[in-house]
């Protein structure tokens, strides 16, 4: 236990949190505490770790790269790991995505996407500025990313800084047409620059799943109105939803796509925002005012790029898709027993992501139930961080059926008095 630590932790209310375990080693799907206790990482350390912690080929690639490069300024200079990574990303994504802009977190990838969209419209002479987003969306914690996210307890103190966006209702099952009509209506009312979506599943908003056909229809409406579609695949990318990227399931090509988290297998921070040629071209001019003015010191860190290249090689050379399918099957079988269990509702799954809601009176994010559930699992050496009353599992792909079964047993053992 760390006491009197100067560290201020993210999304952590120190006044009530209690013990914060110090992790001294990671291995596969496990976190090892200083006292030797091992904790099963059922949420891939905030959704980043894909193949497993310290996945050997990625760690080796990092070690090798440190013999050649550290950080190199990326304005006016380039380096082989970034060039090669950009080429490979272009090769594995739809051919319409032609350019890769590097940054270092999901939030910055989203900021870049929004700035690209606005730059595109301004430099094309139309000056569209209005952005649309889904209710319950989460796109990160920087000001622009918060602006397009759901307003609520997460960002209430910062509302004066956030810009207005148009909100579309989440496409709940059976009410999808409301979302599509709202999108069409919003696009008719005023010029819209872009729609940003988390494809197929809203993560931090509560693991809310919607149909690929709805995403495809949203893309069609956007195209009809000339509205740019931004796919935030920060959480959904790298196999989480069963395919490499969620957009594949809807057969759509976004104008701008954001990837991070599993891009390096989750080992190092890195993000990319891919865009179609027209967006790059709108910024391409003798007029230097049309430069894309975004950078961060660590843009395209070579070691992080090397980790990402190693990750792509893992995807090419190992049966990652089979592992994902096997993991999804374990979820499907395990979830079945909860469908008739009256303690739970909305039992759902998308690829490697499983979720169910505990039936409670107060289900808000700040409801007491969240921390109580968290403690229930931690007491059983499992890292599960419910979103309010939503329990979800998003484990690394190396997780075994036995490891996952143990978590499902812990869910079944829930006896929360509420």
CB 119 within 8 A of CB 347: no
Check binding of 338 to ligand PMP (CB under 6 A). Answer: no
Here's the x/- map for ligand PMP, 25-54, by CB under 6 A: it reads as: ----------------------x-------
**Considering the rule CB under 6 A, would residue 242 count as an interface residue with ligand PMP?**
no
Q: How many residues bind ligand PMP (CB under 6 A)?
A: 15
Which of 43, 133, 234, 394 is the binder for ligand PMP (CB under 6 A)? Answer: 234
Residue nearer to ligand PMP on the CB measure, 132 or 334: 132
Q: Per rule CB under 6 A, is residue 138 in the interface with ligand PMP?
A: yes
Six-digit token pair at 89?
A: 């990303």
Q: Give the shortest CB-10-to-ligand PMP separation in angstroms.
A: 9
Residue 260 interacts with ligand PMP (CB under 6 A): yes or no: yes
* Residues 276, 255 contacting (CB under 8 angstroms): yes
Nearest CA-CA partner of 232 in 246, 249, 251: 246
CA–CA distance, 20 with 277 (Å, rounded to integer): 47
**Least distance from ligand PMP to the Cβ atom of residue 158, Å:** 15
Q: What is the closest distance, in whole angstroms, from the C-beta atom of residue 196 to ligand PMP in the complex?
A: 9
Which of 235/256 has CB closer to ligand PMP? 235
For ligand PMP, give the closer residue by CB, 123 or 370. Answer: 370
CB 228 within 8 A of CB 256: yes
By CB under 6 A, the residues from 109 to 128 that bind ligand PMP are 110
Query: Taking the complex as a whole, how short is the minimal distance between the CB of residue 186 and ligand PMP, in angstroms?
Result: 21
Distance CA 182, CA 170 (A): 10
For residue 375, count other CB atoms closer than 10 A to its CB: 12
SS3 252: coil
Q: Does 307 bind ligand PMP (CB under 6 A)?
A: no
Q: Which of 31, 58, 197, 235 binds ligand PMP (CB under 6 A)?
A: 235
Identify residues 187-226 at the interface with ligand PMP (CB under 6 A): 198, 203-204
Q: Out of 105, 243, 249, 299, name the contact with ligand PMP by CB under 6 A.
A: 105
The span from the CA of 89 to the CA of 39, in Å, is: 34
36 CB-near residues (< 8 Å, 6+ apart): none
C-beta closer to ligand PMP: residue 203 or 262? 203
Q: What does the per-residue mask of binding to ligand PMP show for 56-95, with x meaning CB under 6 A?
A: ----------------------------------------
Which residues fall within 8 angstroms of residue 339, CB to CB, at 6 or more apart?
A: 347
What is the spatial distance between Cα 167 and Cα 131, in angstroms, rounded to a whole number? 9
Question: Which two structure tokens, joined as six digits, stand for 85?
Answer: 């990574």
CA distance between the termini of the chain: 29
Instruction: Give the separation between CA 309 and CA 233, rounded to whole angstroms.
Output: 18
User: Should residue 106 be labelled a site residue for ligand PMP when binding is judged by CB under 6 A?
Assistant: yes
DSSP label at 89?
A: H
The answer to whether residue 140 forms part of the interface with ligand PMP (CB under 6 A) is yes
Contacting positions for ligand PMP (CB under 6 A): 47, 105-107, 110, 138-140, 198, 203-204, 232, 234-235, 260
């Amino acid at each position: 236990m760390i006491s009197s630590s100067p560290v201020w932790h993210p999304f952590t209310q120190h006044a009530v949190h209690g013990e914060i375990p110090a992790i001294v080693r990671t291995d596969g799907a496990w976190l090892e505490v200083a006292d030797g206790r091992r904790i099963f990482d059922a949420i891939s350390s905030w959704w980043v770790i894909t193949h497993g912690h310290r996945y050997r080929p990625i760690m080796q690639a990092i070690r090798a790269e440190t013999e050649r490069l550290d950080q190199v300024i990326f304005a006016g200079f380039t380096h082989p790991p970034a060039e090669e990574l950009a080429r490979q990303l272009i090769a594995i994504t739809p051919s319409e995505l032609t350019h890769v802009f590097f940054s270092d977190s999901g939030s910055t990838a989203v900021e870049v996407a929004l700035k690209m969209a606005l730059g595109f419209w301004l430099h094309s002479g139309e000056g569209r500025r209005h952005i649309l987003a889904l209710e319950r969306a989460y796109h990160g914690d920087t000001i622009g990313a918060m602006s397009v996210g759901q307003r609520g307890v997460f960002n209430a103190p910062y509302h004066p800084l956030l810009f207005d966006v148009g909100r579309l209702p989440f496409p709940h099952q059976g009410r999808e047409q409301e979302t599509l009509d709202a999108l069409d209506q919003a696009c008719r009312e005023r010029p819209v620059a872009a729609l940003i979506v988390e494809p197929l599943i809203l993560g931090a908003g509560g693991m809310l799943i919607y149909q690929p056909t709805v995403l495809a229809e949203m893309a069609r409406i956007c195209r009809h109105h000339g509205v740019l579609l931004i796919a935030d695949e920060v959480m959904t990318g790298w196999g989480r939803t069963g395919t490499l990227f969620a957009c594949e399931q809807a057969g759509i090509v976004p104008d701008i796509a954001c990837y991070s988290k599993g891009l390096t297998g989750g080992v190092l921070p890195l993000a990319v925002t891919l865009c179609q040629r027209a967006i790059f071209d709108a910024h391409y001019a003798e007029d230097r005012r049309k430069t894309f003015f975004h950078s961060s010191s660590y843009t395209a860190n070579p070691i992080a790029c090397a980790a990402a290249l190693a990750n792509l090689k893992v995807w090419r050379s190992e049966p990652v898709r089979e592992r994902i399918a096997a993991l999804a099957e374990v979820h499907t079988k395990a979830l079945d027993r909860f469908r008739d269990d009256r303690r739970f509702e909305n039992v759902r799954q998308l690829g490697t992501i499983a979720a169910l809601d505990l039936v409670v009176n107060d289900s808000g994010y700040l409801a007491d139930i969240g921390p109580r559930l968290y403690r229930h699992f931690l007491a059983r050496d499992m890292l599960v961080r419910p979103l309010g009353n939503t329990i979800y599992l998003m484990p690394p792909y190396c997780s075994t059926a036995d490891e996952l079964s143990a978590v499902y047993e812990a869910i079944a053992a829930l006896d929360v008095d509420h």
